[in-house]
């Protein structure tokens, strides 16, 4: 009856946000997924309060649920940063890594140790940074570990860099290398290409379409030895398709493929 319909007492909807509606089919239960206003984390539990109003064909006949609450917890870590590379020269190690794409990324934690099994913790922390590079004064025999961390304190799996993987640190010599675009296929504006140069000799990056026509080119030699990245389409978007990226320096060249999707 209309008198029973108002029990429990109708909630005043002023100040409540409307989230959506579900059609009624006399089912035993209904379900709808809604975002919370904030994740619960180390600062406390952040509850969101909800009510459900069941309506009828008559505007004056409705049923309001008692208010109830729930909360969400972010327990999903970011992806490990990649690639993670380094060069050693003149007593310093220059480290670089690929940027993470997570929207809630807080930054990166870099650790240094003397052996492969060193513990990544407060005692070995070198830097907590939002940048994707770091210049370290550690000796040429240091090991490094790196993690991405989000705003709620979730840390990715560690990625390691051994002394033998750091160019110029007694391991692999500096060499001409073309890593290409990451991710591949590439989606979005520009086209960031990663590569490494052995010295400061003139070098050139070119982007070619499948017919061999040059789409873009940039000089890279002024960047000097070590790993680098350059945007071959700054401020623009490339048409979807298959492209070739070519790096040349001196008499040597490297070529790789990249797919652009939209």
User: Rounded to 5 degrees, what angle do the CA atoms 186, 190, 192 make?
Assistant: 65
Q: What is the mean pLDDT of the chain?
A: 85
Tell which residue, 248, 253, 168, 256, has the closest CA to residue 202. Answer: 248
Contact by Cβ (8 Å): 143, 160: yes
Least confident of 171-180, 187-196, 240-249: 171-180
| pLDDT tens sequence across 97-138 | 999 988 889 999 999 998 889 999 999 999 999 999 999 986
Burial profile 163-184: b = 16 or more Cβ within 10 angstroms, e = fewer: beebbbbeeeebebbbbbbeee
**Strand 72-73 versus strand 39-40 pairing type:** parallel
Distance CA 210, CA 149 (A): 39
Distance CA 168, CA 52 (A): 65
Both tokens of 44, joined, read 């406390």
Distance CA 53, CA 24 (A): 12
Q: How confident is the model at residue 44 (pLDDT cuts 50, 70, 90)?
A: confident
C-alpha distances out from residue 245 to 215, 223, 260, Å: 10, 18, 12
């Amino acid at each position: 009856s209309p008198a029973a319909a108002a029990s429990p007492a109708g909630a005043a909807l002023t100040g409540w946000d409307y989230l959506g509606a579900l059609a009624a089919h006399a089912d035993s239960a209904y379900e709808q997924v809604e975002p919370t206003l904030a994740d619960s984390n180390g600062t406390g539990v952040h509850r969101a309060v909800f009510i459900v109003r069941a309506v009828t064909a008559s505007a004056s006949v409705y049923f309001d649920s008692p208010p109830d609450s729930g909360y969400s917890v972010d327990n999903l870590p970011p992806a490990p940063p990649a690639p993670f590379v380094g060069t050693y020269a003149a007593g310093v190690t220059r480290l670089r890594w690929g940027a993470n794409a997570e929207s809630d990324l807080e930054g990166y934690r870099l650790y240094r140790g003397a052996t492969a099994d060193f513990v990544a913790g407060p005692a070995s922390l070198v830097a907590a940074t939002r940048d994707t590079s770091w210049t370290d004064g550690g000796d040429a025999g240091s090991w490094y570990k790196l993690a991405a961390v989000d705003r709620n304190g979730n840390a990715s799996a560690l990625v390691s860099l051994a002394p033998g993987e750091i160019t110029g640190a007694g391991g692999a010599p500096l060499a001409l290398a073309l890593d290409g675009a990451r991710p591949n296929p590439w989606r979005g504006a520009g086209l960031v290409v990663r590569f490494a140069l052995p010295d400061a000799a003139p070098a050139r990056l070119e982007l070619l379409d499948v017919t061999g026509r040059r789409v873009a080119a940039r000089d890279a030699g002024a960047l000097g030895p070590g790993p680098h990245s350059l945007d071959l389409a700054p401020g623009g978007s490339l048409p979807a398709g298959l492209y070739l990226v070519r790096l040349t320096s001196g008499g040597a060249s490297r070529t790789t493929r990249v797919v652009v999707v939209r």
